[in-house]
């Protein structure tokens, strides 16, 4: 299949309206990263308040801070950036010239931008931004308990951003399913692309529940009569969490995929247990659609045991995935680049998040730990110590392909060291505090609890994280200003995106190498090595002697 593009228009127009999936993805990634910084600043404000033991912000403002921090990180950073990486690299990895539905992908970018602006403009209103947590729970979020435009803008903003994400998922999955290069069967699609397929399945079949929940909420706020009766509040949560739990797997699968690619590349061998991994991945994704009401155990209104079972049985596919990640490193020739370090850290730190998740999946334990800092620690370990570290592994791996320039390794390792220290300092003590009864979403705790010391420690950690992010930004600036050229394949990598220039041309490939497995470039290198090896009949220096 060939694609011909109608000639381009002027540069400013292209920035706003280009249909090149690479530009759309870069735009989305940049926007998402900007929201990461914004959401991070909110976190620093919260941590300052907690360390100072009051006096920095009022409780009302604090409620806006954690609402917008959570909302920004989930709706405007991690989910969009996960999909953006897929938007950029899935077409490349499968050898396609363009993404399926380029204008739809472009629409998704605009929906993200406008949705984010809508949510944040809540801060400019007289009542302030939304303050009903990133869940927007009814009845707290209804017109009686959360009057004001901040909540309205939040509802619309989340709807817009989510709609954009659904559109992106459609584009990505159709590309993977229907635009693969000749010779690339489903079972030769790279690991990252498969994790993106799983991610898109989750987005397509669970994210509409959020839009429905928000539409019902909006109707309830303006006309009433929708979420009524004692169980109306439960219905909102059923819909919300039907979205909310798959959403956290949308925030996991792409990153485990990029970590898989990074581990394989820098172990100089192909990914281990590919078929087992793919089946475990798809099983895992399906299961993750069935666990949502474990967020509602303490309501006494859901079938607790079913959800405890499905939430615990996740151990099986997760364990298979971990086996394959670790076995990829087994007997490899290891190259300790920054990307590889971040990937290893992902494996260790995400595990902490995952194991504490199994703990919370047991209702008797959840009854004691729900809504405490134990849960806050759990999800920050999975999403930040896990997925964000996986993201940085992907960034350090793919930055050369995106820009044609290498990121500095020294600065990268400095960022890594600071980030690991900061992350564990910030989030590990929260497990202890939560088990001791520290409730979440509170601006000031009584001194008598004795929690202040650990709170101060955690805040110190959060500023170390902030420092590490600054180091990263400095790295990007330095690397783009005084460039070290990357070439096509600086890492001796294995998948098709490395078989074209850095950055790739408009239609991605001038020519495609043959595809015989999920690591086509590795196959080529191995073939070349055996063809030119001493003793090979193809080695022209070797006439006669076998």
Partner 1 sequence: MRRASIVLLGWGTWLGALTALQAPFRVINGPLGVHWIEAAMLGGAALACFVAGLVVWAIDARAGAGERSRLVANDSLATATLVAGLTLALLGAGFGLWLILIGAGVTALGLGGLVREGLARRRRRGGVV
Partner 2 sequence: MGVEVRDTLASMPDTLHAYDHVRGIYFPIAIGVFALVVGTLLVLVVLGARRRRADAARSEAPRVELAYAIVLGLVVAFLLVVTFRAESPIDRAVADPRLRIEVTAAQWSWRFSYPNGATVDAVSTWHPPRAYVPTGVEVEFFGSSRDVIHGFWVPQLHFQRQFLPGFTTRFDLRFDKPGRYGGECSVFCGEQHSEMHFAIEAVSPERFERWLDAHAPKVSMQGAKTSARKASVTR
Q: Give least dist CB 164 to partner 2, A.
A: 28
The site for partner 1, by CB under 8 A, has a size of 67
Q: Is 133 helix (H, G, I), strand (E, B) or coil?
A: coil
Span 504-533, contacts to partner 1 by CB under 8 A? 506
Q: How many CB atoms lie within 10 A of CB 446?
A: 9
3-state secondary structure 119-132: HHHHHHCCCCCCCC
- 153 to 172: interface string for partner 1, x by CB under 8 A: x-xx--xx------------
Q: How many CB atoms lie within 10 A of CB 81?
A: 27
Alpha-carbon span 176 to 204, nearest angstrom: 15
Residue 102 touches which of partner 2, partner 1, none (Cβ within 5-8 Å per kind)? partner 1
**Residue 411 class from Cβ within 10 Å (0-12 exposed, 13-18 middle, 19+ buried)?**
middle
Residue 272 touches which of partner 2, partner 1, none (Cβ within 5-8 Å per kind)? partner 2
Decide if residue 387 touches partner 1 (CB under 8 A): no
Decide if residue 456 touches partner 1 (CB under 8 A): no
Contact 366, 297 (CB under 8 A): yes
Q: Give least dist CB 187 to partner 2, A.
A: 12
- Name the residue with tokens 């001791």: 436
Decide if residue 88 touches partner 1 (CB under 8 A): no
Cis peptide before 139 (omega within 30 of 0): yes
Residue 111 touches which of partner 1, partner 2, none (Cβ within 5-8 Å per kind)? partner 1
Q: Which of 44, 53, 56, 205 binds partner 1 (CB under 8 A)?
A: 205
Q: Which of 102, 150, 353, 404 binds partner 1 (CB under 8 A)?
A: 102
Nearest Cα residue to 377 out of 356, 351, 361, 346:
356
Decide if residue 481 touches partner 1 (CB under 8 A): no
Q: Length of the chain, please?
A: 546
Burial 465-477 (b: 16+ CB within 10 A, else e): bbbbbebbeebbe
- 24 to 53: interface string for partner 1, x by CB under 8 A: ------------------------------
For 446, phi and psi rounded to 5 degrees?
-60, 140
Alpha-carbon span 486 to 502, nearest angstrom: 7
- Of the pair 63, 193, the CB lying nearest partner 2 is at 63
- Of the pair 222, 483, the CB lying nearest partner 1 is at 222
Nearest Cα residue to 206 out of 314, 107, 317, 291:
291
Q: How far is CA 416 from the centre of its chain?
A: 18
Q: Which of 193, 206, 387, 495 binds partner 1 (CB under 8 A)?
A: 206
User: What six digits make up the tokens of 366?
Assistant: 């959840």
Nearest Cα residue to 284 out of 336, 242, 321, 251:
321
Decide if residue 4 touches partner 1 (CB under 8 A): yes
User: What six digits make up the tokens of 171?
Assistant: 């584009």
Decide if residue 312 touches partner 1 (CB under 8 A): no
- Of the pair 78, 213, the CB lying nearest partner 1 is at 213
Element containing residue 362 per DSSP (H, E): none
- Of the pair 152, 489, the CB lying nearest partner 1 is at 152
User: What six digits make up the tokens of 322?
Assistant: 């971990």
Stretch that binds partner 1, among 36-44, 80-88, 150-158, 366-374 (CB under 8 A): 150-158
Stretch that binds partner 1, among 70-78, 230-238, 477-485, 519-527 (CB under 8 A): 230-238
- Of the pair 73, 111, the CB lying nearest partner 1 is at 111
Residue 133 touches which of partner 1, partner 2, none (Cβ within 5-8 Å per kind)? partner 2
Q: Give least dist CB 357 to partner 1, A.
A: 19
Residue 393 touches which of partner 1, partner 2, none (Cβ within 5-8 Å per kind)? none
Q: Give least dist CB 402 to partner 1, A.
A: 20
Alpha-carbon span 79 to 196, nearest angstrom: 12
Q: Dihedral (C-alpha) 45, 51, 56, 58: value to the nearest 10 degrees?
A: 90
Decide if residue 489 touches partner 1 (CB under 8 A): no
Q: Give least dist CB 8 to partner 1, A.
A: 5
For 159, phi and psi rounded to 5 degrees?
-60, -45
Residue 527 touches which of partner 2, partner 1, none (Cβ within 5-8 Å per kind)? none
For the chain, the maximum distance between any two Cα atoms, rounded to a whole number of angstroms, is 91
In the complex, which residues of this chain contact partner 1 (CB under 8 A)? 1-9, 13-14, 16-20, 98, 102-103, 106-107, 110-111, 114-115, 118, 149, 152-153, 155-156, 159-160, 177-178, 185-186, 197, 201, 204-206, 209, 218, 231, 234-235, 238-239, 242, 282-283, 285-287, 289-290, 293, 301-306, 309-310, 506
């Amino acid at each position: 299949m060939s694609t011909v593009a109608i000639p381009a228009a002027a540069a400013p127009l292209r920035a706003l309206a280009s249909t090149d999936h690479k530009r759309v993805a870069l735009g989305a990634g940049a926007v998402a990263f900007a929201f990461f910084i914004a959401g991070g600043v909110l976190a620093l404000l919260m941590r300052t308040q907690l360390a100072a033991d009051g006096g920095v912000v009022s409780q009302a403002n604090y409620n806006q801070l954690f609402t917008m921090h959570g909302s920004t990180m989930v709706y405007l950073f991690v989910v969009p950036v996960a999909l953006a990486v897929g938007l950029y690299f899935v077409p490349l990895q499968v050898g396609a010239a363009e993404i399926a539905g380029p204008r739809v992908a472009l629409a998704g970018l605009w929906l993200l931008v406008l949705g984010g602006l809508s949510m944040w403009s809540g801060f400019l209103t007289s009542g302030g931004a939304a303050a009903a947590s990133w869940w927007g729970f009814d009845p707290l979020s209804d017109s009686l308990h959360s009057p004001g435009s901040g909540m309205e803008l939040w509802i619309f903003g989340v709807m817009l951003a989510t709609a954009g994400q659904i559109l992106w998922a459609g584009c990505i999955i159709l590309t993977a399913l229907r635009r693969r290069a000749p010779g690339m069967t489903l079972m030769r699609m790279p690991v990252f692309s498969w994790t993106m397929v799983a991610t898109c399945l989750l987005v397509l079949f669970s994210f509409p529940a959020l839009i429905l929940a928000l539409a019902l909420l909006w109707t309830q706020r303006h006309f009433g009569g929708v979420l009524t009766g004692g169980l109306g509040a439960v219905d909102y949560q059923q819909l919300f969490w039907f979205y909310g739990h798959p959403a956290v797997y949308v925030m996991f699968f792409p990153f485990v995929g990029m970590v898989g690619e990074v581990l394989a590349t820098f172990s100089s061998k192909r990914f281990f247990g590919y078929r087992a991994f793919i089946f475990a991945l798809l099983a895992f994704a399906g299961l993750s659609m069935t666990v949502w009401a474990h967020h509602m155990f303490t309501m006494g209104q859901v079938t607790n045991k079913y959800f405890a079972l499905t939430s615990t049985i996740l151990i099986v596919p997760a364990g298979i995935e971990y086996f394959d990640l670790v076995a990829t490193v087994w007997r490899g020739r290891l190259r300790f680049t920054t990307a590889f370090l971040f990937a290893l850290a992902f494996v260790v730190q995400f595990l902490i998040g995952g194991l504490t998740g199994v703990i919370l999946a047991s209702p008797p334990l959840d009854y004691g730990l729900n809504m405490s800092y134990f849960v806050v620690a759990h999800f920050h370990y999975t999403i930040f110590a896990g997925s964000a570290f996986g993201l940085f592994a992907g960034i350090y791996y793919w930055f050369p392909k995106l820009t044609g320039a290498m990121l500095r390794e020294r600065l990268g390792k400095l960022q890594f060291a600071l980030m690991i220290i900061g992350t564990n300092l910030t989030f590990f003590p929260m497990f202890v505090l939560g088990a001791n009864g520290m409730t979440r979403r509170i601006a000031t705790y009584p001194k008598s609890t004795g929690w202040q010391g650990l709170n101060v420690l955690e805040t110190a950690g959060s500023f170390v994280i902030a420092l590490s992010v600054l180091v990263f930004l400095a790295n990007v600036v330095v690397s783009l200003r005084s460039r070290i050229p990357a070439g096509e394949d600086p890492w001796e990598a294995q998948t098709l995106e490395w078989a074209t220039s850095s950055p790739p041309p408009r239609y991605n490939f001038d020519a495609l190498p043959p595809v015989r497995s999920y690591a086509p470039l590795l196959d080529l290198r191995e073939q070349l090595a055996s063809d030119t090896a001493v003793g090979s009949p193809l080695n022209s220096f070797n006439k006669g002697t076998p």
